[in-house]
A and B are shown apart, each in its own frame.
Chain A
Amino acid sequence: MSERRIRIETPALTRVEGEGRLDVDIRGDRIHRLHLDIFEPPRYFEKFLEGRHYSEVPDTVARICGICPVAYQMSAVQALESAFGIRPSPWVEAMRRVFYCGEWIQSHALHIHLLAAPDFLGFDDVMAMAREHPATVNRGLSLQGLGNALIALFGARSVHPVGARVGGFHHAPTPAEVAALVERLEAAIPEAEALVRWTAELPLPDEAQEFTSVALRHEREYPMVAGRIVSSAGLDVAAEAFDEHMQERHEPHSTALFAAIDGEPYLVGPLARLNLNRDRLPAAVAAVLSETGIGFPSANMYHSVVARAVEILFAVREARDLLAGYREPDSPWVAASPRAGDAAGATEAPRGLLWHRYRTDDAGLIRHARIVPPTSQNQARIEQDLHAALRAGGLDRPDDALRRHAETVIRNYDPCISCATHFIDLRVERGS
């Protein structure tokens, strides 16, 4: 019996955010062991939050992830506002959506162009790809820059933005600043449409797998900052009840926890969102998607890159529409009066569902925090996908081919390993 052990050594798992490695042990014609090792050190954020004032939470949780700080801030303020019984103004609700659109555009454009596309076009990295496809890369970088500008409009900077607070924003942009961005958004619509078509024409492998999609679903909107948590297997719960259905477990090879619903792995992220919410796309975006001929829901994980492009187009148009007729509010925030409470918040980070729960005391200090990031939810699903994909492609391929295939599979999920490791279920279990 032939035995092969393939190890994609650190930090050779490249073009992902954070540090991980893949360990595959192949014996004969079967995979004996397959581990996505996440060894990014824990940073104990949930513990740092204990004893902090609620007003410090947005600036703290932003530091969990440099690529999706807006998502962390928005899930946190939603949970805290719910704990305190505050309802932000319609202006705040709309502008939070714009702020979040910026992060989707930025993060998705970064992933498509800098992390994923080199796989599909056979380049080592974006620098090499730019030499042969300068227009495509420049289009991507320009969309990424637009996303960053949209975040900075409300946050002053795009990494660890400083504008978000419980109750709203510290600052409202001026109509002139908004008008300048609306012009850029308008100009970006044809670019984003072209990007959707470009991703649909990539030489993507045609592989179907069975998996469960999980995402927010809202009565009208394409989901971002509001909605119930639903799954393709029939789950339909309020954010408050999510922890009753989702279980996390700790495996020796990972500093991130593995999530499951009813014991089964599941997918979160752009493909899951689009699979569950295609009917919530505005007509103009749905039309561009239809022209590609790719049907959603899709069982092909590689269609994630198309879903990301569709969401960029959606976010560009959504931000433009929400900023049309912009007026400065009397106040960009409502005052909070803290009270003892316990509430959850859930929003759709670029990489998928991001769920927070906080318990506060009557002085507004955090007594308990729990954060479930998208990548730890996807971790079990990534391993499940790797098992199927590597077997389907043939285990007798040379190591290099297997390694390249595995890396491509992993990158599809846009894993953010930095995020994934800092969250853990605080319920203590001890074996005897």
Chain B
Amino acid sequence: MTDERKPRVAVHKFSSCDGCQLAFLNLGPDLLRLAELVEIVHFAEAGPSNPDADVDIAFIEGSVSTPDERERLRRIRAHSGFLVTIGACATSGGLQALRNLRDSESEWREAIYARPEYIDSLAHATAIREHARVDLELWGCPVDGRQVLAAVRALLFGVPPVEERDKVCLECKRHQTVCVMVARGEPCMGPVTRTGCGALCPRFGRDCYACYGPAEGANTTSLAHRFEGLGLAPEAVARRFHFIHSGQEPFTGAGNEAAGIIPGKAR
């Protein structure tokens, strides 16, 4: 990034719910300030459309689930300095990666659409990193404005952004939140989940469902046993791991193990 001109930023959308783009659109006055600090050259939902422009930072929301998306990503990578994934879909495949577990895409397409031949879709919905080099991943379903602004700031200063890798449990301790698993027997995913959300669910008295993905050194085996001890059936344990981040290890494996699925074999 040179000092002569404003850094150029793009926000791209792939298969997603648009919720992570709201991390920008919900910024309020900070969105206007951001637009002064950087040049937003592509952000279709906000207006600017210039998908193939050269940019310093490209943010990507969504997973890759069609041949067209694969091709589009290749072009974006070629035109972008830093490539940053925002949210679960881009970072691990997201909720729609559930279709990968059973190789059911073509069957579902036929069950759902009257004319399945009209639908052009890949068998799997996958994370951006499976198709292109990614420089930074922002976890969360959704990411919030604080995360994207911190990333922009860090990249503008040329320093690596600080990444939160702690478990949600630590965040609960910091907030002095009563543990929902210990106190109420809720099957909380906090012990294996990356923090960053602010432990929102336990603070609301409910179980974390791992929308920020796996924490570093997550002991999923031990937690799966704990869930069984709480009375969860094997399929229910599997569903805890196979939810927002089913495409991300160690969650994929932990869910498969609980459900007795051997990868590569149809159930």
Contacts and interface: CB of A to CB of B under 8 A. Distances in A.
Interface of A: 11-19, 39-48, 51-53, 56, 59-60, 63-67, 69, 106, 110, 114-115, 118, 124-127, 130, 137-138, 141-142, 144-145, 148, 156-160, 162-163, 165, 170-171, 249-253, 255, 416, 418-419, 424-426, 428-430
Given A11-B49, A56-B243, A66-B17, A42 B204 contact: no
Contacts of B119: 42, 255
Main secondary structure of the interface of B (DSSP, over half): loop
B45 to A, nearest CB: 6
A17 B200 CA distance: 27
Given A159-B23, A425-B114, 11 more contacts: A44-B112, A56-B243, A59-B209, A59-B243, A63-B244, A64-B17, A160-B142, A163-B204, A165-B206, A251-B118, A418-B18
Contacts of B121: 41-42
Contacts of B20: 66, 159
Interface of B: 13, 15-23, 25-26, 28-29, 31-32, 35, 40, 44-49, 51, 65-66, 68-69, 94-96, 98-99, 104-105, 108-115, 118-121, 125, 141-142, 144, 197, 200-201, 203-206, 209, 211, 235-236, 239, 243-244
A249 B17 contact: no
Contacts of A52: 239
A159 B114 contact: no
A42 B112 contact: yes
Contacts of B110: 428
A208 B226 CA distance: 64
B38 to A, nearest CB: 11
> 8 closest pairs, A vs B, by CB?
A66-B19, A125-B47, A171-B204, A156-B200, A11-B44, A250-B114, A127-B35, A43-B96
A53 B109 CA distance: 23
Contacts of A252: 115, 118
Nearest to A127: B35
Contacts of B13: 11, 18-19
Contacts of A48: 95-96, 98-99
Nearest to B21: A66
B236 A53 contact: yes
Contacts of B45: 14-17, 115
A65 to B, nearest CB: 5
Nearest to A430: B114
A159 B201 contact: no
B78 to A, nearest CB: 18
A15 B47 contact: yes
B109 A42 contact: yes
Contact of B15 (A43, A106, A114, A127): A43
Contact of A424 (B23, B112, B235): B112
B258 to A, nearest CB: 14
A124 B48 contact: yes
B242 to A, nearest CB: 10
Contacts of B142: 66, 157, 159-160
Nearest to A423: B112
Contacts of B206: 162, 165, 170-171
Contacts of A67: 18-19, 22
Contacts of A145: 26, 28
Nearest to B44: A11
B221 to A, nearest CB: 22
Given A15-B47, A44-B99, A159 B19 contact: yes
